[in-house]
A = this chain, B = another copy of it.
Amino acid sequence: MPPRICSVARTLEVVGERWSLLVLREVFLGVRRFDPIREATGAPRAVLAERLRDLVAAGVLDRREYREPGTRVRHEYHLTPAGRELQPVLTALMQWGDRHLAGPGQPPLELRHADCGGRVRTALVCEEGHTLPDTGTGLRPVPRAGDRDRATRDSAPAGGS
């Protein structure tokens, strides 16, 4: 029986490697060049080079030439539109860490809404406008046609068809 291929698995193929999400965190923060990213993340050079290549190949980062006056052409990494849509992933990770792995003192980074200054967080919302608790209580996963019926059942009766 083949492993379940869902969108979580597919997304982790792109951003699930050891340093990928930390690299993206830096790019979201505006750190776009090799050495500063390396310092901020702690990733080894070779691994970082490979991750950047992978993320560019996956369409998450865009490698752009730039030239500061008095230097040769270099490259920096910008988020593509698809890359920017990973913001909720990073926000969700950060939020959980803030809540459950807080070090001494307050969290080191806050996200605020540029328009109103309010703190921003991820929330589970439904299309009718309801907001669910972060625990996912009241959330019902529905396997779609075509998927094996393995999901959502664990203590099914033995005599099932």
Using a CB–CB distance below 8 Å, which chain A residues touch chain B?
A: 1-16, 18, 21-22, 25-26, 28-33, 36, 39-42, 59, 76, 81-82, 84-103, 105-116, 118-128, 130-132, 134-144, 146-147, 150-154
Contacts and interface: CB of A to CB of B under 8 A. Distances in A.
B154 A32 contact: yes
A90 B8 contact: yes
B121 A41 contact: no
A3 to B, nearest CB: 3
Nearest to A107: B7
Contacts of A110: 141-142, 144
B146 A108 contact: yes
A100 B82 contact: yes
A85 B109 CA distance: 20
B92 A136 contact: no
B87 A124 contact: yes
B112 A142 contact: yes
A114 to B, nearest CB: 5
Given A39-B3, A88-B124, A110-B141, A11 B96 contact: yes
A122 B87 CA distance: 11
21 contacts: A7-B95, A10-B97, A10-B103, A12-B21, A12-B22, A28-B141, A31-B150, A85-B100, A85-B134, A88-B96, A89-B89, A106-B144, A109-B151, A113-B139, A115-B138, A116-B128, A118-B127, A120-B126, A120-B127, A120-B139, A121-B126
